[in-house]
């Protein structure tokens, strides 16, 4: 884009046009993932023609050729032409992140974005008008029951858990080492879902005990589909809004506070304040907005996602600090990791 740098958007709206077509680029990647393009190209010993890819994936050759060309246009695939035939091959990025099954694969994230987030975002205008989530229009589930919508079927539950799991493949280590947590003996990951972050906590702090706390149904699925042989963390089940939470020295709340209204967050954090001893603490793991409201754009988009799907919002550090102080916690420390998710530590 170097040739555009000297020209202003007023002369020609390069950036604006790119933004207006952003959804098309997302859909190109979503369709390729759903069709299995990246697995096929990864496993193939040589470059493949569109005809060959289409046949192998039970698709139309002309449609596939246009899709593959667009993937080349966004530099996710490569193409060479030999004797008039275009031959397509994968790139390292596509093999590592888009093909299914690799240790760093974001395939589950792509599938959730395509099949759940995209339909919800189709109602963005209404969400902004009404100021509430669009689960009713999209899935027929009332707006108060956010996790009933997310967990509306076993298949959807697995897809959501796949999405949650994939974030910590990229950011887990940075988030758990943002602060030295080795002084906390008993660490409880509340709403810990698949255990992906608990695994990173257990690796970074081998002398602490790490427990994942979540709904019984989620714990059962996590044990069955996500637990690995050498995992050392344990599970407990319950509802953190009902009754008491098990005692711990450190409560980890990763992407929990952003799901809920300020009032519900205060209720939960006050409960945690009473459940831990002096010296105990909470670690919030969230994508934090900038205080000057100018970004990061990813976090601003996540906040709109919380509007269309949940009850919560993304917040800047000052708002997390205020909620923590109002719950009784002090010594609030904020660490921006530079990746998608940041960490905030506060103690009793
Ligand atoms: N902490 C995980 C992460 O960041 O990947 C999962 C975050 S997910 C947005 C919220 C998690 O909280 C889900 O696993 C959900 O089942 C759990 N959860 C929601 N409400 C809960 C409640 N009342 N009691 C226990 N767990 C709850
Ligand atoms: C939640 C997080 C998410 C609740 C619903 C959600 C996300 C999507 N839906 O706590 C994650 C946001 N990040 C991405 C990559 O979509």
- Band of the pLDDT at 151, cuts 50, 70, 90? very high
Residue 185 CA to ligand 1 center (angstroms) comes to 22
Angle at 191 between CA 343 and CA 102, to 5 degrees: 75
- What token pair was written down for 336? 């921006």
Q: To test ligand 2's pocket by mutation, which of 115, 134, 163, 165 has the most ligand atoms within 8 angstroms of CB?
A: 163
Structural domain boundaries in the chain = 2-98, 172-347
Q: What is the pLDDT of residue 243?
A: 87
User: pLDDT tens across 291-339, in order?
Assistant: 999 999 999 999 999 999 999 999 999 999 999 999 999 999 999 999 9
**200 touches ligand 1 (CB under 6 Å):** no
Rounded to whole angstroms, the Cα distance separating 95 from 170 reads: 15
- What token pair was written down for 139? 């899935």
Residue bearing tokens 């189709």: 122
pLDDT reading at 346 higher than 90? yes
What H or E segment, with its residue span, contains residue 210?
Answer: strand 209-214
- Band of the pLDDT at 3, cuts 50, 70, 90? low
Q: Which residues, 6+ apart, have CB-to-CB distance to 178 below 8 Å?
A: 335, 337, 342, 343, 345
- The pTM of this model reads 0.96
- Band of the pLDDT at 5, cuts 50, 70, 90? low
Residue 76 has φ and ψ, to the nearest 5°, of -95, -25
**309 touches ligand 2 (CB under 6 Å):** yes
> What's the CATH number for 172-347?
3.40.50.150
Angle at 28 between CA 310 and CA 58, to 5 degrees: 115
Class of domain 2-98: mainly alpha
Nearest-CA residue for atom 11 of ligand 1: 191
User: pLDDT tens across 224-239, in order?
Assistant: 999 999 999 999 999 9
């Amino acid at each position: 884009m170097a040739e555009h740098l000297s020209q202003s958007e007023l002369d020609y709206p390069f950036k604006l046009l790119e933004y207006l077509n952003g959804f098309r680029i997302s859909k190109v990647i979503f369709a390729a993932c759903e069709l299995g393009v990246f697995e096929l190209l990864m496993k193939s010993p040589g470059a493949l023609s569109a005809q060959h890819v289409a046949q192998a994936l039970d698709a139309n050759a002309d449609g596939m050729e246009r899709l593959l060309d667009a993937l080349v246009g966004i530099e996710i695939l490569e193409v060479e032409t030999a004797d008039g035939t275009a031959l397509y091959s994968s790139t390292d990025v596509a093999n590592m992140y888009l093909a299914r099954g690799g240790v760093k694969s974001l395939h589950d994230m792509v599938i959730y974005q395509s099949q759940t987030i995209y339909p919800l975002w189709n109602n963005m205008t209404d969400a902004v008008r009404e100021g509430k989530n669009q689960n009713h229009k999209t899935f027929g589930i009332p707006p108060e029951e956010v996790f009933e919508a997310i967990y509306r079927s076993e298949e959807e539950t697995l897809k959501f858990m796949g999405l949650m799991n994939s974030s910590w493949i990229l950011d887990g280590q940075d988030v758990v080492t943002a602060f030295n947590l080795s002084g906390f003996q008993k660490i409880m990951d509340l709403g810990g879902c698949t255990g992906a972050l608990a695994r990173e906590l257990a690796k970074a702090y081998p002398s602490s005990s790490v427990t994942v706390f979540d709904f019984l149904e989620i714990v059962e699925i996590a044990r069955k589909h996500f637990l690995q042989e050498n995992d050392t963390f344990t599970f407990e089940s319950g509802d953190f809004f009902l009754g008491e939470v098990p005692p711990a020295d450190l409560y980890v709340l990763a992407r929990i506070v952003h799901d809920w209204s300020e009032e519900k967050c205060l209720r939960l954090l006050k409960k945690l304040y009473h459940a831990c001893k002096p010296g105990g603490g909470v670690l919030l793991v969230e994508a934090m907005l900038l205080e000057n409201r100018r970004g990061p754009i990813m976090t601003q988009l996540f906040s709109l996602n919380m509007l269309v799907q949940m009850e919560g919002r993304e917040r800047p550090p000052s708002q997390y600090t205020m909620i923590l102080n109002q719950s009784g916690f002090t010594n609030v420390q904020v660490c921006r990791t530079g990746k998608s998710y940041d960490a905030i530590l506060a103690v009793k």
